[in-house]
Amino acid sequence: MRLLLLLLAILPLAMAAPKSSTTDRLAVRYDYFKVYSLFIENEQQLEELKEIYEDISVHVLNELAGPGHSYNIIVGPLLQKYVEGKLNDLKIIYKVIVEDLQKLLDKSAVDKDSQMEWESYHTLDTIYDWVDKECAAHDYLECKVIGQSYEGRDIKSIRLSKREGNKAIFLEGNIHAMEWISSATVTFLLNELINSEDPEMQRLSEEYDWIVVPMVNPDGFVYTHEVERLWRKNRRPNGATNSSGLCYGIDMNRNFDYHWGGAGWNIDEPCDHWFGGDEPNTEIEILSLQSFVSSFEDGYIRSYMAFHAYGQYVLLPYGHSNTEFPPNYEQMKRIAAAFSDAASEPYGSAFTYGASGLLNYVVSGAAKDWAYGVKNIPFTCTVELRDKGTYGFFLPSNQITEVGVEVAAGLKGLVNKAAEEGIFD
Ligand SMILES: [Zn+2]
């Protein structure tokens, strides 16, 4: 039975990691795959879930860190009965949140020839064409390629500066490949800063400099469009192999060098989605990002915000501990609260805020911790965008604009509060 299950389970995975060249890649489909949300109450259930994961290679979408959390898993049609039986036996509470994953993905299908707008998701080319066009049209935008990805794609940056002497706010997008809402939101915000007629947004655009890297992980992002929608890491072969061949990628938001190597299940399993590398600072994409951040004079960048999905959180440092807190933690909480209050106004979306080690789980190597701990930027955070688990990583494209609107509102609240707190002094 176990072997049969293993064979059934690895079929889609074998397709997900083709050994052939990039030219004949086959896109993975998820027809009739269900997404289950499991609530794991205790350590014993967590261990049992890990066993299911190891036995039949179900695709677990969230880092399995500890009990007291919900986890989403994807199960193909042939295994659903078995998994449901197993969950019932183990008394793990679950619900099916997506009945047919492919149908849901098809609703947000990407048109390769589309122009940039914020009602659908776009390819890397469409996003970069828009960036180039905006850069060409506005003198106050300075656009720079900060480095190349492992597969040789540009990592582009945009710096908006309308006034000498401003302090800067840094916006980081799509370090995790599958989180398309991240780059969609970061570009939405940049577009507001450039083109919005809202006087408050224009004031923020005048009084602060904005540095935006909308796509930290272009290789992974292209891979999610062309091959495997559920890819998270970059695409560098990481030296390990499994039954499907070479294992690819490092979770780049686990690879930054600040208290690196802390807890987090599977962070050291090279074939898993959360592999943080053999050592910190190994990936060309984050090294490019780090040297770009370091190229500005100390004290210029005063806020660093990394955008992710999902859960509606403003996660503050630190990630590596839930007993040690940053020196200005109370101040950061007040600023995050201002984001949360303002972001809830347009549509009522609630954002929870606090130290990531406390709210989420203890895990190290994230950009926000490096920006705070190494670069001494006084307000840093990870914003986990919509939703709270209804669609999870598969947020339909018809929510992009609403997410943009609520995050823009939150950002105004955050910047004004940070100014009041002296972050930009
Ligand atoms: Zn993420």
Quick check: 4 pLDDT over 70? no
- Centre of ligand 1 to C-alpha 215, Å, is 12
Could you read off the pLDDT of 379-411 as tens digits, one per residue? Answer: 999 999 999 988 999 999 999 999 999 999 999
**Alpha carbon distance 398, 386 (integer Å):** 12
Instruction: Please tell me which residue, 48 or 286, carries the higher pLDDT value.
Output: 286
Q: Report the catalytic residues.
A: 384
- Centre of ligand 1 to C-alpha 163, Å, is 33
pTM exceeding the 0.95 threshold for the entire prediction: no
Q: Return the exposure string of 122-148: e unless at least 16 CB atoms fall within 10 Å of the residue's CB, then b.
A: bbbebbbebbeebbeeeeebebbebbe
Quick check: 225 pLDDT over 80? yes
- Centre of ligand 1 to C-alpha 264, Å, is 14
pLDDT at 59: 86
pLDDT at 58: 78
- Centre of ligand 1 to C-alpha 131, Å, is 22
- Centre of ligand 1 to C-alpha 16, Å, is 20
Angle between helices 180-195 and 218-226 (to 10 degrees): 120
Q: Residue 26's pLDDT band (boundaries 50, 70, 90)?
A: low
**Alpha carbon distance 233, 294 (integer Å):** 24
DSSP string computed for 13-55? HHHHS--S-GGG------TT-EEEEEEE-SHHHHHHHHHHHHH
Mean pLDDT on 336-344: 98
- Centre of ligand 1 to C-alpha 211, Å, is 20
Could you read off the pLDDT of 50-68 as tens digits, one per residue? Answer: 888 877 767 888 887 788 8
3-state secondary structure of 348: coil
Could you read off the pLDDT of 72-98 as tens digits, one per residue? Answer: 999 999 999 999 999 999 999 999 999
pLDDT at 166: 98
Q: Which of 385, 402, 404, 382 has its CA nearest to residue 393?
A: 385
Q: How far apart are the first and last CA of the chain?
A: 65
With a CB cutoff of 8 Å and minimum separation 6, the contacts of 162 are: 140, 205, 206
**Alpha carbon distance 25, 347 (integer Å):** 41
pLDDT at 18: 34
DSSP string computed for 146-179? EEE-TTS-EEEEEEE--STT--EEEEEE-SSTT-
